[in-house]
């Protein structure tokens, strides 16, 4: 009797012990991943991010090869409506109740910075591709954030530097009159001067100006070789359209769009946009790999548009994330730990090539200066760019020596 | 700052172009207000519809700029009349604020739907070949199309003024505003007049939209911010007189143009600041009657 | 012309107070136990901020008959000032809130003097234009950080003891702020001041002929409304830990109108219900977010055409009670 009781006790203990061991094992080999694509599905950034970013995330999940190895990957998405409150609310809810592991894309700097604070507080991950603010990896950097694709500092370096080298050594800026525009103008000015160029003047145009002709007349009168457009979205497209009307490019001046995307150029049309210079880190027609990806991408997308660099960044960033998870042997649901692994492993993907993610969270890859083709040179609706110059990754982004990120030890 | 006369006259001319849009839009608002006593919050949205309409006429039906200049305002005007018949009509007798709220809702719907289907970066619309290029005026390079915008909107504004202030139809209209019951007693179909007036006001906004399509990117939100500036124009000018709203529109365009030259940072706010000043000095607006 | 709202139900004043008291106690009780129910507290806190905002707006429109289409300017101004005070000047939260409220109060005095000069739709257009003016100013001023907004605002310890980074503590502080504002508005509505305000709404000329200086009453209502909207803005900063341009944009002003309209103009509880409905819609419809603006527009149109009393107004009308 006593022996039987002892045996029972031992048996129970063993069973419990094994269950615990199994549970502990489960923790390491948890192979469930949930990706939340937080983007602008309805307004300003819907074309450069939006539905395309969701498709890019799904493609990354499919192409990672993890599903075949027994992983379960869910992709959910939501529209932050360009409101930091709404975006932050969704991010909180995703992390707290939906157990989302990583929040991807997040165009709109205001929303991205708000989400940036939340992922840090809750030890989740922000993989940003759509936002331009270089503060994400500078003063506001966190151990939970990775910034892919581009930022305003890089745009200034690439466009400013490469254009001066190509002979555009006198500049005039038309600047959106708020923090973003000022930063873009100041960064570009510094690069232009460092490369031996001169800035002849600038004019601050309020946001959402419908008519840029006054500013364009001033830029024309300045006789600068390059007119830098330090603005975004509708302001940029309107200023380019009206510059064509005033014959600015035909008059020999060059336009440089400091923040423009493939989707903007496509919607402007080559007639208007021809001769425009702009920087991107990805172009669909760059090589066989990018073409193959872009073909599959546009087939999956409702509008059949070609991917922008933001879409490419979502895809490549998530691929790298999956690699880190695989190297960890499972999903530890520990944001900082995964991000540390992502920084430890060099990046290598078909779209951006080889690169690294720096300690401050900045993904490093080359930047390209493109010129928009003339209608006669273009062979199709998406054949828009020709390559003018390349800035290597280590020169394109803010060097760590200038960084104000708390993770960087000087 | 030394005043560069050449640059200054260029800015004045550019201001006049913007003034053309303000004038057309505030004229439409004034026409609608005069008859229906409501402020049409959807005015920015129908302006946008005018531009989109021109785009579709060209790209779907192959109908060019010149026919679109007539067709688009008519089509959008018909759309306006339908909304008047199906919705606005039921608000007669209620507080005017309900009209404002209803049209605000309409504006959200129209802009939202267009945004869903056409994205936000917009669609291109080329300048008609007859009006491409420009003339060197000595002090500036004036694109011919811009000159055409000024001429066209001036003609339309004056024609509208003539229609309302000088013709028999206009007299009925004005009478119906004052005393609808009496006018009905003379055998005039007042509800139909209201519908047509709304259509006219909306059509004017759509015309402004078509005129602007080759200049601005055709975007779903192109009218959303513009309409707030036009509201300020209307508050400054007062909606009492047709001519008043036309003149104020052009004048404010010019003032804004000058601001762009002297202090560009304030060019988006100057109209609002003027509005505050006018309200402090003459609350009824420059030409307005008390409401 | 028919009055703006017909939500006033003529019953004896004692019964009105009775009904409203019951609903108020119910509402407070429900809100007080929220943290224990497992309902997502962040959502409720956001809802409370907007509820207070809508109540403040309702004071002006529902009782004063003045439609402000620029109420976001108070929300945003208080938010920016509060966030700046907390983050840059290192104010404790209670002083940060006060700073935001004071800023909104000052703004309401300045804009009120201008806006109150016209009525009806002119008033709506003027407030809209003033708010747009402010939007551009905030966009261009460096301290707001433009599109980035003021981010990562520290929540701190209220009165040195209440740790606001703890969700439950924060919740009760926000609830306290909301109830304070709600009761202030309730008190104002049921005071002689509120009666005069309603008289002005019904017939301004008559009120003038009775010897009331109606402009002063309207201005006072405007300032009170703006100040309490500022309180909502300050609280919202503590909840969201950021202040951004969206809070001063005209779309926000439109949403405030919509909340109040859906809930019921000129009802005591309508704006609260409306605010929660619209916020829930924004948060939970975010999945097919493309259509959020369109849905909002449709609600506007449907409300104005068929449902002018709003949800709470309809209920109150059905039971012939005042809520």
**B126 is a domain residue:** yes
In 10 A of CB B289, how many CB atoms?
11
C1: nearest Cα among C121, C118, C123: C121
The rounded percent of chain B whose pLDDT value lies above 70 is 97
- Contact status of C110 with chain B (Cβ, < 8 Å): no
Q: Is B102 exposed, middle or buried (0-12, 13-18, 19+ CB in 10 A)?
A: buried
Question: What's the pLDDT at C233?
Answer: 97
Chain C hits for A133, Cβ within 8 Å: 148
Which ipTM score applies to this complex? 0.88
Q: Looking at A313-317, A375-379, B144-148, C287-291, which range is the least confident one?
A: C287-291
Q: Going by C-beta distance under 8 Å and a sequence separation of 6 or more, which residues neighbour residue A102?
A: A33, A34, A35, A36, A124, A125, A126, A127, A318, A321, A335, A338
Q: How many structural domains are present in chain C?
A: 1
**What is the sign, positive or negative, of the torsion defined by CA atoms of B67, B68, B70, B75?**
positive
Pairing state of beta strands B134-136 and B141-143? Answer: antiparallel
Same domain, A276 and A392: yes
Burial status of residue A171 (CB atoms within 10 A of its CB: 0-12, 13-18, 19 or more): buried
Partnered with residue A36 across adjacent β-strands are: A76, A103
* Residue B252 maps to a domain: no
Per-residue model confidence (pLDDT) at position B290: 45
Mean pLDDT across the stretch A314-340?
95
Within a domain: A352 = yes
Mark whether A44 and A145 lie in a shared domain.
Answer: yes
pLDDT score at C76: 96
Taking contacts as CB-CB distances below 8 angstroms, the residues of chain B near C300 are: 101-102, 104-106, 108
Q: Which domain holds residue C184?
A: 35-249
Q: What's the whole-number mean pLDDT along residues B111-131?
A: 84
Does the structure show a pLDDT above 90 at B22?
yes
Task: Report if residue A16 sits inside a domain.
Answer: no
Q: How many domains does chain B have?
A: 1
d(CA A205, CA A221): 17
The three-state secondary structure class of A392 is coil
State both tokens at A29: 């080999």
Please report whether residue B232 resides in a domain. Answer: no
Q: Which of C114, C250, C298 sits opposite B228 (nearest CB)?
A: C250
The gap between the terminal CA atoms of chain C, to the nearest Å, is: 25
Two structure tokens written together for A183 = 């930063």
Determine the pLDDT at residue C7: 64
Nearest residue to C101 (alpha-carbon basis) of C230, C288, C196, C206:
C230
Query: Is B136 a member of any domain?
Result: yes
What is the secondary structure of chain B as a DSSP string?
----HHHHHHHHHHHHHHHHHHHHHHHHHHHHHHHH----TTHHHHHHHHHHHHHHHHHTT---HHHHHHHHHHHHHHHHHHHHHHTGGGGTTS-HHHHHHHHHHHHHHHHHHHHHHHTTT-B--PPPGGG-SEEE-SS-EEEHHHHHHHHHHHHHHHHHHHHHHHSHHHHHHHHHHH-HHHHHHTT--HHHHHHHHHHHHHHHHHHHHHHHTTTS-B-TTTTTTHHHHHHHHHHHH-SS-HHHHHHHHHHHHHHHHHHHHH-GGGTTTHHHHHHHHHHHH-TT-SSPPP-
In this prediction, what percent of chain B has a pLDDT beyond 90? Answer: 42
Nearest CA in chain A to C279: A86
Q: For residues A193 and A256, is the Cβ–Cβ distance under 8 A?
A: no
- The answer to the question of residue B275 being in a domain is no
If you measure CA to CA, which chain C residue comes closest to B97?
A: C121
- What range does the domain containing B113 cover? 22-222
pLDDT confidence bin for C290, thresholds 50/70/90 = low
**Which residues on B lie below 8 Å from C308 (Cβ)?**
94, 98
Any B CB within 8 A of A139 CB: no
Give the residue-averaged pLDDT of B73-92.
93
Mean of pLDDT values over C297-302: 92
pLDDT at A83: 84
pLDDT over 90 at B23, yes or no: yes
Contact (CB<8Å) B102/C304: yes
Which residues of chain A does B115 touch, with a Cβ-Cβ cutoff of 8 Å?
42-43, 46
Where residue A104 falls (left for φ over 0; alpha for ψ -120 to 50; beta otherwise) is beta
Q: How far is CA C85 from CA C96, C228, C234, in A?
A: 6, 18, 11
Residue A59 structural domain: 32-150+286-365
Q: Does residue C70 surpass a pLDDT of 90?
A: yes
Q: Is residue A409 part of a domain?
A: no
Q: Do B111 and C293 touch (CB under 8 A)?
A: yes
Q: What is the pLDDT of residue A10?
A: 57
User: Is residue B160 assigned to a domain?
Assistant: yes
* Residue C281 belongs to some domain of the structure: no
Give yes or no: residues A358 and A378 share one domain.
Answer: no
Instruction: Tell me the chain A residues in contact with residue B147 when contact means C-beta distances shorter than 8 Å.
Output: none
A6: confidence class by pLDDT, cuts 50, 70, 90: low
- Domain of residue A100, CATH code: 3.40.50.2300
- Residues of chain A with pLDDT > 90, as a percent, come to 70
Mean pLDDT of chain C: 89
In a domain, C103, yes or no: yes
pTM of this prediction? 0.85
- State pLDDT tens for residues C163-193: 888 888 999 999 999 999 999 999 999 999 9
| Res C8: pLDDT | 56
DSSP state at residue C150: B
Say if residue A8's pLDDT is above 60: no
pLDDT of residue A239: 92
Chain C, 282-301: which have a CB under 8 Å from a chain B CB? 290-294, 296-301
**Mean pLDDT, to the nearest integer, of A117-127?**
95
- Considering its fold, how many domains does chain A have in total? 2
Q: Is B192 exposed, middle or buried (0-12, 13-18, 19+ CB in 10 A)?
A: exposed
Q: Is A233 left (phi over 0), alpha (psi -120 to 50) or beta?
A: left
Task: Tell whether A250 and A186 lie within a shared domain.
Answer: yes
Is the same domain home to A262 and A382? yes
Pick the closest to residue B104 from C225, C303, C148, A193 (CA basis): C303
Asked if residue A164 and residue A83 are part of one domain, the reply reads no
């Amino acid at each position: 009797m006593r022996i039987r009781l002892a045996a029972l006790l031992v048996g129970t203990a063993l069973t419990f012990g094994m269950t615990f061991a199994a549970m502990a094992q489960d923790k390491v080999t948890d192979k469930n991943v949930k990706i939340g694509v937080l983007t602008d599905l309805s307004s300003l950034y819907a074309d450069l991010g939006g539905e395309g970013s969701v498709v890019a995330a799904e493609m990354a999940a499919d192409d990672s090869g993890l599903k075949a190895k027994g992983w379960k990957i869910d992709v959910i998405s939501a529209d932050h409506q360009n409101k930091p409150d709404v975006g932050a609310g969704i991010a909180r809810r995703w992390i707290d109740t939906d157990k989302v592991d990583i929040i991807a894309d997040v165009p709109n700097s205001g929303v991205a910075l708000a989400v940036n604070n939340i992922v840090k507080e809750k030890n989740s991950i922000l993989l940003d591709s759509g936002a331009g603010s270089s503060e994400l990896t500078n003063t506001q950097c966190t151990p939970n954030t990775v910034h892919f694709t581009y930022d305003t500092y890089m745009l200034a370096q690439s466009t400013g530097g490469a254009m001066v080298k190509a002979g555009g050594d006198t500049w005039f800026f038309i600047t959106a009159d708020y923090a973003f525009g000022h930063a873009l103008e100041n960064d570009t000015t510094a690069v232009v001067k460092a490369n031996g160029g001169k800035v002849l003047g600038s004019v601050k145009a309020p946001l959402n100006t419908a008519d840029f002709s006054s500013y364009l007349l001033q830029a024309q009168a300045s006789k600068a070789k390059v007119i830098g457009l330090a603005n975004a979205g509708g302001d940029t497209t309107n200023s380019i359209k009206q510059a064509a009307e005033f014959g600015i490019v035909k008059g020999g001046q060059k336009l440089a769009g400091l923040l423009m995307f493939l989707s903007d150029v496509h919607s402007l049309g080559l007639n208007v946009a021809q001769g425009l210079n702009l920087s991107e880190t990805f172009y669909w027609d760059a090589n066989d790999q990018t073409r193959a990806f872009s073909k599959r991408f546009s087939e999956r997308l409702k509008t059949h548009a070609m991917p922008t660099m933001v879409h490419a960044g979502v895809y490549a960033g998530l691929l790298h994330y999956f690699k880190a998870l695989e190297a960890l042997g499972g999903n530890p649901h520990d944001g900082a730990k995964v991000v540390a692994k992502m920084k430890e492993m060099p990046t290598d993907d078909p779209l951006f090539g080889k690169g690294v993610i720096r300690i401050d969270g900045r993904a490093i890859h080359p930047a390209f200066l493109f010129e928009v083709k003339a209608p006669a040179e273009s062979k199709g609706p998406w054949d828009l760019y020709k390559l003018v110059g390349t800035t290597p990754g280590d020169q394109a982004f803010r060097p760590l020596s200038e960084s104000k990120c708390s993770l960087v030890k000087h | 700052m030394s005043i560069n006369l050449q640059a200054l006259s260029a800015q004045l001319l550019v201001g006049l172009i913007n003034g053309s849009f303000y004038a057309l839009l505030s004229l439409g608002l004034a026409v609608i207000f005069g008859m229906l006593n409501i402020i049409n919050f959807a005015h920015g949205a129908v302006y946008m519809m005018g531009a989109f309409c021109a785009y579709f006429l060209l790209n779907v039906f192959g109908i060019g700029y010149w026919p679109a200049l007539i067709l688009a305002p008519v089509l959008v005007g018909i759309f306006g009349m339908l909304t008047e018949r199906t919705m606005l009509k039921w608000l007669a007798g209620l507080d005017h604020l309900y009209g404002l709220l209803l049209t605000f809702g309409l504006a959200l719907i129209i802009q939202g739907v267009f945004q869903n289907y056409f994205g936000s970066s917009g669609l291109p619309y080329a300048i008609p070949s007859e009006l491409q290029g420009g003339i060197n005026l000595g002090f500036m390079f004036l694109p011919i199309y811009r000159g055409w915008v000024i001429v066209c909107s001036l003609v339309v504004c004056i024609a509208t003024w003539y229609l309302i202030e000088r013709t028999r139809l206009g007299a009925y209209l004005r009478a119906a505003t004052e005393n609808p019951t009496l006018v009905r007693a003379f055998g005039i179909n007042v509800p139909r007049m209201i519908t047509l007036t709304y259509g006219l006001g909306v059509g004017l906004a759509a015309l402004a939209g078509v005129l602007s399509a080759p200049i601005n990117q055709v975007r779903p939100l192109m009218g959303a911010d513009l309409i707030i500036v036009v509201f300020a124009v209307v508050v400054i000018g007062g909606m009492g007189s047709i001519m008043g709203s036309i003149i104020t529109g052009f004048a404010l365009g010019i003032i804004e143009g000058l601001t762009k030259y002297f202090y560009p940072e304030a060019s988006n706010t100057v109209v609002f600041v003027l509005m505050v000043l006018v309200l402090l000095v003459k609350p009824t607006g420059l030409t307005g009657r008390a409401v | 012309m028919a009055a703006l709202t017909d939500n006033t139900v003529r019953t004896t004043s004692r019964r009105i107070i009775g009904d409203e008291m019951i609903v108020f106690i119910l509402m407070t009780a429900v809100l007080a136990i929220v943290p224990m129910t497992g309902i997502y507290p962040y959502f409720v806190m956001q809802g409370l901020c907007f509820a207070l905002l809508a109540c403040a707006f309702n004071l002006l429109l529902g009782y004063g008959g003045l439609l402000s289409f620029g109420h976001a300017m108070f929300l945003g101004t208080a938010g920016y000032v509060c966030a700046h005070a907390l983050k840059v000047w290192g104010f404790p939260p209670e002083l940060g809130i006060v700073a935001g409220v004071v800023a909104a109060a000052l703004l309401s005095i300045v804009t009120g003097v201008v806006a109150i000069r016209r009525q009806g739709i002119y008033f709506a257009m003027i407030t809209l234009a003033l708010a747009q003016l402010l939007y551009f100013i905030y966009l261009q001023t460096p301290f707001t950080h433009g599109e980035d907004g003021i981010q990562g605002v520290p929540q701190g310890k209220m009165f040195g003891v209440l740790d606001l980074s703890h969700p439950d503590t924060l919740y009760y502080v926000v609830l306290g702020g909301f109830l304070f504002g709600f009761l202030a508005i309730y008190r104002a509505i049921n005071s002689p001041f509120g009666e005069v305000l309603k008289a002005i709404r019904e017939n301004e000329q008559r009120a003038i002929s009775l010897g009331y200086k109606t402009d002063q009453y309207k201005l006072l209502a405007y300032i009170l409304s703006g100040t309490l909207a500022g309180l909502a803005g300050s609280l919202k900063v503590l909840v969201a830990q950021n202040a951004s341009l969206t809070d001063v944009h005209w779309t926000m002003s439109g949403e405030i109108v919509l909340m109040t309209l859906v809930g019921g103009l000129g009802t005591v509880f309508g704006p609260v219900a409306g605010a929660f409905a619209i916020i829930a819609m924004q948060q939970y419809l975010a999945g097919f977010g493309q259509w959020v603006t369109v849905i909002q527009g449709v609600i506007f149109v449907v409300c104005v055409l068929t449902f002018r009393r709003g949800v709470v107004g309809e209920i109150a009308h059905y039971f012939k009670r005042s809520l």
